[in-house]
Structure 1
C-alpha cells in the first residue's frame, strides 16, 4: 500500500470506486457537453457550405467524444482530468460565445 491510502480515512476500495465514478462522470455527461461545444465551434468555422460543415462537424464529433473518453480513463490523476475538462469547456465555450456574438456563420 502506498502512503496515499494510509493518510486517507477511506479504504482503498472506496477510494478506487470514487475515482472511477468521478471519471465516469467526466467521461459521459461532461464529455458530451465539451464535445457539443467543440462540434458547434467546428461547424461554424469550417470553410465549406453550412450544410456540409454541419455534417462534417457532426461526424467528427464521434471521434472527438471517443478520444476524450479514452484520455479521461488513461490519465493518471483524476484532478488533472477535471482541470482539463473544466478548462477545455470554459475556453471552447468562451470561443463559441465570442463567435456567436461576432456574427459568424449560423
Structure 2
C-alpha cells in the first residue's frame, strides 16, 4: 500500500520543514532575546526583572510558533521571527553597553 506522504511535492515538504525550524529555532531565539531584554530594562529589582522576563518568554515562544504557521509563506514566517529578534538583540547590546561601568 502506497502512503499519501509520498505524493506530496518536495517544495511543500521543504516549506513545512522550514516553518517547523522557524517555530522551534527562531521561536527560541526570539524568546531568549525578549527574556534578556526584559531582564535588563524592566524598572524593578534585577531578580524580579529576570524572573518576569523568563516567565513572559514562554508567551513569546508561543506567539512565534503560532506566527510561523499562520503566515502565507515560510519566508514571511522567518522574517517575522528574525526581524524582531534582531531588534531585541540590538536593544540588548545597547542596554548592556550603556550599563557597563
TM range (shorter): 0.7 to 0.9
Normalised by the length of structure 2, the TM-score is 0.84
Across the aligned residues of Structure 1 and Structure 2, the Cα RMSD in angstroms comes to: 1.6
- Please, which runs of 5 or more residues in structure 2 have no aligned partner? 1-6
- Please, which runs of 5 or more residues in structure 1 have no aligned partner? 1-10
Which of 54, 77, 86 is the matching residue for 1:81?
77
Q: Which runs of 4+ in 1 moved over 6 A?
A: none
Which of 85, 96, 101 is the matching residue for 1:100?
96
Which of 45, 50, 62 is the matching residue for 1:54?
50
Residue 86 (structure 1) shift: 2.4
Q: Structure 2 CA distance, aligned partners of 1:34 and 1:66?
A: 10
**1:66 matched to which residue of 2?**
62
**1:19 matched to which residue of 2?**
15
Residue 12 (structure 1) shift: 5.4
Normalised by the length of structure 1, the TM-score is 0.81
Q: Structure 2 CA distance, aligned partners of 1:27 and 1:33?
A: 10
Cα-to-partner distance string for 1:23-78 (whole Å, 9 max, x where unaligned): 11111112111210111001111111111111111111111101111111111121
Q: Alignment length, in residue pairs? A: 94
